[in-house]
Structure 1
Amino acid sequence: MTPRTQLSFPRQYARTQRYTLGAPRSFAVSPDGSRIVFIRSVSGTDRSGLLWVLDLDGESARERVAADPRVLLGGSDEELSAEEHARRERAREQLAGIVAHAVDGSAELAAFTLSGRLFTAGLRADGTARELPVPGPAVDPRPSPDGRHIAYAARGALRVVGADGAGDRALAEPEDEYVAHGTAEFVAAEEMGRTRGFWWSPDSDRLLVTRVDDRAVRRWWISDPAHPDREPRRIAYPVAGTPNAEVRLFLLGLDGGRVEVVWDRERHPYLARVHWSDGGAPLLLVQARDQRTQRCLTVDTETGETRTVHADEDPLWLDLFPGAPVWGPGGRLTRIADEGGARVLAVGDRALTGAQLQVRAVLDAGGDDVLVTASAGEEADAPEIGEVHVYRVGDRGAERISQGPGVHTAVRSGGVTVLTSARPGPGGTEYRVLREGLPPVAVRSLSERPVLTARPVLREAGVRRIPCAVLLPSEYRESDGPLPVLMDPYGGPRTRRVLAARDPYLASQWFADQGFAVVVADGRGTPGRSPAWEKAVKGDYSVILDDQIDALHALAGSFPFDLGRVGIRGWSFGGYLAARAVLRRPDVFHAGVAGAPATDLRLYDTHYQERYLGDPAELPEVYTANSLVTEDGLVAVENPARPLMIIHGMADDNVVVAHSLRLSAALTAAGRAHEVLPLSGVTHMTPQEQVAENLLLLQLGFLKRSLGV
């Protein structure tokens, strides 16, 4: 690889937003199978999403633009409200323009926002896009199933307007600044995967609407030290062990009716899931604060009373899953559950899958079967390291519909399935429309082709068979001798890094091409293996670092590792892991780059941290043992110092910069040299092109200096 190519990858990686620009996403399928609706920018470097329609007619297909933000805004730049900024940060959304849309029941009408203004687009061939004159800034607009109304949130109110722009009115308004209707509170959006706050009835005559009161939630201030003339931004952040927002749910009729939905909110305060379809009564999934018990409830839409249809308990914690619970085939309750040591799909009273599959999400439960994603379980016939497949599951068993290595997911309606397949080869991700009896139709991706080729070798390492990927320099020869090692993990719960796909390894390959052997390892705590594998971290994050070390040493017998020069880099939980590695195990790790690390775990949010470590008031010793610093300083100061670079966005409202500042202060008090890279105006994401590009180069320079590369 030439020096020019080496320098071009960080720029391309940043400019393409990690090769996501130009890729189709957010698919919706019309029930009659004639239209596929999606979002895509016009090139691999353009950041503005357009709304597209793919018209299907027999074996032919034709793309057209349904809404172009440049046209609708008259060429002016977007201006985002504070509510929209927060929504995008929770969703890790980096695209501009049209970033989300919702469609009516027949997929003939779409709604979306631009600069807080509400727009609709007709999705048939003769449809047009137009703005509806409503008070803003509008957030999360959603058409009613019959397409006659649009509901949206604005300034704490839940409002409804006719699809023709007439009759705008508030169905619920906030009593004061602490109350908001129709939006998800922080922990729901950040940790539970519930980004919505209202749901239409199948008959389009009423909605289920959340009422969030966050007056009891602790207030934090996010300042911008680079601009001392600006006021700090106040946010409601529920720190572990402190009060959450109060969440209630109401049935609001278009005729002005209002009925509160009643359940035992003292025992089960978390509203984790809401599902309302023509398959049955509204379904709620509510959780206890300690997440060890949960109830699936049905709602009486006349009285608001609820009834338990299923209850779950777990001595450690209960996970939440995308798309479940729902009403499935035959009107039976469909859910994902941990049974017999496996994560199974249960329909009614039966588990339809077993220990060979680890079910991850319900994609569609209409018709006679259920569409799910799953990875190979611990009892699978052969390991499929990093693969995730789409299965059609019915009473007669599971049938795989995705083929070949990769990470697959799908959207289905009626007889049409849009299959997204992220492949490990140089071709990247494929998007195909599958229909019975007809050849597949490709949806074009306009994303750029990377300037390098990732060559991960996937292995299981050590006695625990830890999934790993190893990347060596593209031009490495055995005569080159052993290489310094760079561990490149996330490592924490709910996120896998070892995947049978191309894009997750591009940055890792670039580091490898600079002269490193790069190792990505998914130890205990990461998803996709078994419930026991994930829950082994309860109360003790040390096993996560143990598995990184075990993987490193197990692989060293097969790969050219110089174990005298081992670095580690990571972001978020991976940043915590990198800092922990050099502080707790300097005998193994000789340098670390910690990006946005959570260092004092009492400063992170309730739903995440209490799930794994419990209540800090009841278990202070657990938080002390797992944190890197406390208010009193560094937890472990007796170990030899190793070079450490700490990187943090000053505007981060998820892992606030106080984490890194406390770590730096404790290191300074202990007389330990370290580097701190503050990123002005940067949040937990790094969407800014120059920042994203130079972060790679700065990390590389630090690691080379520290490891003598």
Structure 2
Amino acid sequence: MIHSLRHTTITASVRTFLLLGFFLILGTPTATAQQKITLEDIWGGAFRTERMEVLRSMADGQHYTVLNQDRDQGTSAIDKYAYQTQELVGTLLKSDAAAGIPKFSSYRFSEDETKVLLATEVEPVFRRSRLGIYYVYDLEAKTLVKISENKIQEPTLSPAGDKVGFVWENNLYYLDLTSQELTQVTSDGERNRIINGVTDWVYEEEFAFVRAFEWNSDGTRLAFLRFDESEVPEFSMDVYGDDLYPFPYNFKYPKAGEANADVSLHLYDLASARTSPVDLGNPHYIPRLEWMHHKDHLSVQAINRHQNDLKLLKVNAADGSVTTLLEEKDAAYVDITDNLTFLEDDRFIWTSEKDGFNHIYLHGQDGKQQIQLTSGPWEVTSYYGYDPKRKRIFYQSTEQGSIVRDVYSITVKGKGKKRLTQGAGTHSASFSADFSYFIDAFSSVETPPMYTLHKASDGSLVKELLNNNSLKEKLANYEFSPKEFSTLEVNGNSLNMYMIKPVDFDPNKEYPLFLYQYSGPGSQSVSNRWYASNDYWHELLVSEGYIVACVDGRGTGLKGRDFKKVTQKELGKYEVEDQIEAARLLSERAYIDADRTGIWGWSYGGFMSSNCILKGNEVFEMAIAVAPVTSWRFYDTIYTERYMQTPQENPSGYDDNSPIFFADQLKGKYLLVHGSADDNVHVQNTMRMIEALVQANKPFDWAIYPDKNHGIYGGNTRLHLYNKMTKFVLENL
């Protein structure tokens, strides 16, 4: 996925709430002299907010655990707390070198919470994948088992906690924790050819999962995916490193229109040690697997290459039969989510945009729709889960407005809807396992992140857990300007917008305008929440006399299916038209200098800013593009073809919106930035853009950051990048 810096997904099955803590701190101007933000402040962490630790609800719903690290002692511990009192009630496990218990960086319980899986020596592979040395500790027997001497992937305990499945060197294994017997399930795994039990690069990036194997409910079977990437073209990146010679890093990366991995589903029976393939009718992608409550029933989501025909299939592992529970089609595409939940009787909850907005539906065991649980001209933005005891469903939505979020519950009959959060802004919930409590993470442009404990039954406040009031007071000494939310009528649509004006704004003066946007399908940049790191930088520019604005144009999310999917087969057409027109309309305002208009963006936003300064060369005088796509022909199959189909089917959609083909239209100042080790949006995009500009004899500025990925960070990298961008803005706008 072409990423902006955004969200952590919380699934109903894992009650883990990760609260991100790198936000902009907004002070209220005072009459006293205020100091300006510096880049050293921003990237040195001077304004980090206090945040909640990662917590996991325990099965009783009344307690949760937290991983506490003691850096001075070099130890880690799993501490247990009570929701009601927030008091520490005990330590379940603590690393102890003398006892052979290593310091661990993460943990996960077995279903009965008698065993805990510990991670050590973890290293990243790609965005989500990790390698590490893992252990299983038995809390009752006080014994520790090292799963493997090798660094493995995705270790997962069976439901009974007596076995652990994992992947090593593209093969699937399981270890019997009682007998210590290791079983190799597959043997054909080979790098850049065959993968068993974990996903390939494009599935990991675009379908957002790595573990591609699942235990059934009694631990007697494993379902897993096998990826044959023999025909997938290989991509190579040079790694410069510190040695005398650089070296190539090769991996399989299917660009739009090229071959994907051949993916197949297999069932392994532990008793017979036999693997059986499952005939799903040759779907192009298999983006989700989930066992139902019945030990023989597996749900599989299968979708075609265009991603506009999704089938929810039921596989009977006992006889290998496959039936279709649900089929969803869309003229554009169908989103893949983690919102599927099976009730006790294997009826299931599903989310869909089929009525024009994303809503929740209840389906019977046979797949037929029983009831639409939510409805209205607003979106369900997160599905938190189902409480089987009280028969209630919990979710987050935009019912109070497209730029805010609130948390609600509703019965499984679609009755008795309750709004559980109050206060305009962004509310995000983390529920206890039995849905007795939830922690509300709230912020707005006026309120820095605060965390409060509530009863899930009615949303009533139990206790405030953490706020950032002291930091807000500290930052009153800094020069900050508030975001002003409004809408802008552009090309027949009412678009969400925010604008930031200088503290000493004078409507009789003229100010240069600097637009920021991302604009990717379904994204949102204009929202009422506390500020992210780029907003720090925007405030710095505002203090230098600029006006910064952001407009979410057509193709962005949370305003209905049609608004989001209007860009189908034409990425970069309507979004660019909207940014150009928005800049033109804003430049008509008396306080905007129409001759000084700039735009910038990262990733998809860099694709946009590049197109804007070329196709809107009479409107924009300057643009910055960081890690941009410059031709969708260079990007991966799953993301690109979802919106564009293949280049063979839609060549004009690809080329008519590629900035490479309009390099000769450059008039203003243009800065290109990329990381040379970007495995996502390859530096090839920027190199091809550079060549087009050179051949058009157009002056421009550029920077390549060696061995940096799509995020372009590490050490002083971000500080250097933002120094460069700041200098470029000040000199050219």
1:84 maps to what in 2? Answer: none
Q: Name which of 201, 208, 225 aligns with 2:223.
A: 208
1:396 maps to what in 2? Answer: 414
In structure 2, what is the Cα distance between the partners aligned to 1:4 and 1:351? 53
Question: 2:629 is paired with a residue of what secondary structure?
Answer: coil
In structure 2, what is the Cα distance between the partners aligned to 1:271 and 1:649? 31
The letter of the residue matching 1:317 is Y
Residue 459 (structure 1) aligned with residue 476 (structure 2): no
CA contact (8 A) 2:437 2:456 kept: no
CA contact (8 A) 1:66 1:123 kept: no
Superposed CA offset, 1:191-234 (max 9, x none)? 12233212222223332222122111110111024666132000
The letter of the residue matching 1:488 is Y
In structure 2, what is the Cα distance between the partners aligned to 1:370 and 1:264? 31
Q: Cα gap change, 1:153/1:565 in structure 2, threshold over 3 Å: closer, same or farther?
A: same
Superposed CA offset, 1:360-414 (max 9, x none)? 33221341122222223xxxxxx62421222223223432223222333334321
Q: Name which of 707, 718, 723 aligns with 1:681.
A: 707
Aligned-pair CA distance for 1:678 = 0.4
Aligned-pair CA distance for 1:163 = 5.0
In structure 1, what is the Cα distance between the partners aligned to 2:265 and 2:699? 52
Superposed CA offset, 1:478-516 (max 9, x none)? 267222111111111132211211133334333323322
The letter of the residue matching 2:245 is D
CA contact (8 A) 1:486 1:518 kept: yes
Q: Name which of 102, 114, 123 aligns with 2:120.
A: 114
Residue 571 (structure 1) aligned with residue 602 (structure 2): yes
Residue 351 (structure 1) aligned with residue 368 (structure 2): no
The letter of the residue matching 1:28 is R
Q: Percent identity?
A: 19
Residue 142 (structure 1) aligned with residue 156 (structure 2): yes
Q: Where in structure 2 are there 5+ consecutive unaligned residues?
A: 1-28, 122-130, 364-368
In structure 2, what is the Cα distance between the partners aligned to 1:580 and 1:334? 41
Q: Name which of 637, 643, 650 aligns with 1:619.
A: 650
Aligned-pair CA distance for 1:52 = 4.9
Residue 11 (structure 1) aligned with residue 40 (structure 2): yes
| Residue range with higher mean Cα deviation, 495-504 or 549-558 | 549-558
Number of aligned residue pairs: 667
Question: 1:273 is paired with a residue of what secondary structure?
Answer: strand
Aligned-pair CA distance for 1:59 = 3.1
| Residue range with higher mean Cα deviation, 64-73 or 397-406 | 64-73
With normalisation by structure 1, the TM-score equals 0.85
CA contact (8 A) 2:635 2:681 kept: yes
In structure 2, what is the Cα distance between the partners aligned to 1:623 and 1:72? 61
In structure 2, what is the Cα distance between the partners aligned to 1:209 and 1:577? 39
2:22 maps to what in 1? Answer: none
1:242 maps to what in 2? Answer: 258
Q: Cα gap change, 1:502/1:60 in structure 2, threshold over 3 Å: closer, same or farther?
A: closer
In structure 2, what is the Cα distance between the partners aligned to 1:560 and 1:123? 68
Aligned-pair CA distance for 1:286 = 0.8
2:429 maps to what in 1? Answer: 410
In structure 1, what is the Cα distance between the partners aligned to 2:583 and 2:621? 14
Q: Cα gap change, 1:416/1:49 in structure 2, threshold over 3 Å: closer, same or farther?
A: farther
Question: 2:307 is paired with a residue of what secondary structure?
Answer: coil
In structure 1, what is the Cα distance between the partners aligned to 2:101 and 2:510? 55
Superposed CA offset, 1:593-624 (max 9, x none)? 10000002101000111111111112212211
1:419 maps to what in 2? Answer: 439
In structure 2, what is the Cα distance between the partners aligned to 1:240 and 1:571? 21
For 1:278-427, list aligned pairs within 5 A: 278=293, 281-321=297-337, 323-328=338-343, 331-348=346-363, 349=369, 350-367=371-388, 368-376=391-399, 384-394=401-411, 395-397=413-415, 398-412=417-431, 413-425=433-445, 427=447
Residue 167 (structure 1) aligned with residue 188 (structure 2): no
Residue 30 (structure 1) aligned with residue 58 (structure 2): yes
CA contact (8 A) 1:269 1:287 kept: yes
CA contact (8 A) 1:279 1:327 kept: no
Aligned-pair CA distance for 1:448 = 11
Question: What do you get for the CA RMSD once the two structures are aligned?
Answer: 3.5
Aligned-pair CA distance for 1:283 = 1.4
Residue 509 (structure 1) aligned with residue 539 (structure 2): yes
Q: Cα gap change, 1:639/1:560 in structure 2, threshold over 3 Å: closer, same or farther?
A: same
CA contact (8 A) 1:132 1:164 kept: no
1:691 maps to what in 2? Answer: 717
Superposed CA offset, 1:83-117 (max 9, x none)? xxxxxxxxxxxxxx83x654322445442432244
1:592 maps to what in 2? Answer: 623
Aligned-pair CA distance for 1:288 = 0.3
The letter of the residue matching 2:527 is L
In structure 2, what is the Cα distance between the partners aligned to 1:533 and 1:500? 20
Residue 189 (structure 1) aligned with residue 176 (structure 2): no
In structure 1, what is the Cα distance between the partners aligned to 2:589 and 2:97? 57
CA contact (8 A) 1:113 1:139 kept: no
Q: Cα gap change, 1:271/1:311 in structure 2, threshold over 3 Å: closer, same or farther?
A: same
Question: 2:175 is paired with a residue of what secondary structure?
Answer: strand
CA contact (8 A) 1:171 1:254 kept: no
2:19 maps to what in 1? Answer: none
CA contact (8 A) 1:419 1:433 kept: yes
In structure 2, what is the Cα distance between the partners aligned to 1:72 and 1:209? 39
CA contact (8 A) 2:380 2:395 kept: yes
Q: Cα gap change, 1:584/1:445 in structure 2, threshold over 3 Å: closer, same or farther?
A: same
Question: 1:357 is paired with a residue of what secondary structure?
Answer: coil
The letter of the residue matching 2:396 is T
Superposed CA offset, 1:417-457 (max 9, x none)? 44342401465323344346885355558999585656211
Aligned-pair CA distance for 1:19 = 4.4
